[in-house]
Amino acid sequence: MNPDTASAIEILQDIEARSLARTTVVDDQDGFASLWAGLAFKVAGIRVLAPMDEVSEILILPSRLTRVPGAKVWVKGIANIRGNLLPIIDLQAFLGGKPIVTNRRSRVLVINREDVTTGLLVGDVQGMRHFSDDQSIASARIEGVIGHFIQAAYENDDGIWPVLSMDSLANDERFRMAAA
């Protein structure tokens, strides 16, 4: 191994060790406790989390979308993602809000749930959040359509974080009926 490769590997190992040291939570019972991970974003003015195990990919909104004639207003169009056609849904518009005004923090969350593969356009992505089991709260009641898709919540110093279930969304009859 040449010296440059060795130093690059050492740097990567150091980064990995520091990262693991920051994200591991010690649990008295079995040595380690796992952390729940979610992607934080705003939809209809509400901060929510998308479970990372329900999101298969996070994309920047493709520059070219093909409109779908006869589709509901919340269907932004179809995007070609590496040769695969992906419907793009404006999540905020689907939930009854105004269509998202895209900006540099807007992203497409790709969900692949059973027979539904789609991209959810969301605004104001705020990054990853990690929570321990003891930060889970019994309920986070939210009014309106979005409340049907909230199935859990966590609380930390930043407040309450409702969890938007991608499974519930993908199984919703209204979500599956994109024709106008």
pLDDT for the residue 28: 47
**Cα–Cα distances in angstroms (integers) from residue 133 to residues 71, 136, 163, in the given order:** 41, 6, 14
pTM of the model: 0.77
**Cα–Cα distances in angstroms (integers) from residue 138 to residues 44, 57, 135, in the given order:** 23, 29, 10
Backbone angles phi, psi at 60, to 5 degrees: -75, 145
The single-letter code of the amino acid at 104 is R
CATH fold for domain 34-176: OB fold (Dihydrolipoamide Acetyltransferase, E2P) (2.40.50)
CA angle 57, 137, 92 (to 5 degrees): 40
Contact 176, 87 (CB under 8 A): no
Look at residues 170, 175, 166 and name the one whose alpha carbon lies nearest to residue 49.
166
Contact 139, 79 (CB under 8 A): no
Per-residue pLDDT of the chain (180 residues; tens, 9 = 90+): 555 555 777 777 777 666 655 554 444 455 556 899 999 999 988 999 999 999 999 999 999 999 999 999 999 999 999 999 999 999 999 999 999 999 888 999 999 987 889 999 998 899 999 999 999 997 777 777 888 899 899 999 999 999 999 999 999 999 988 876
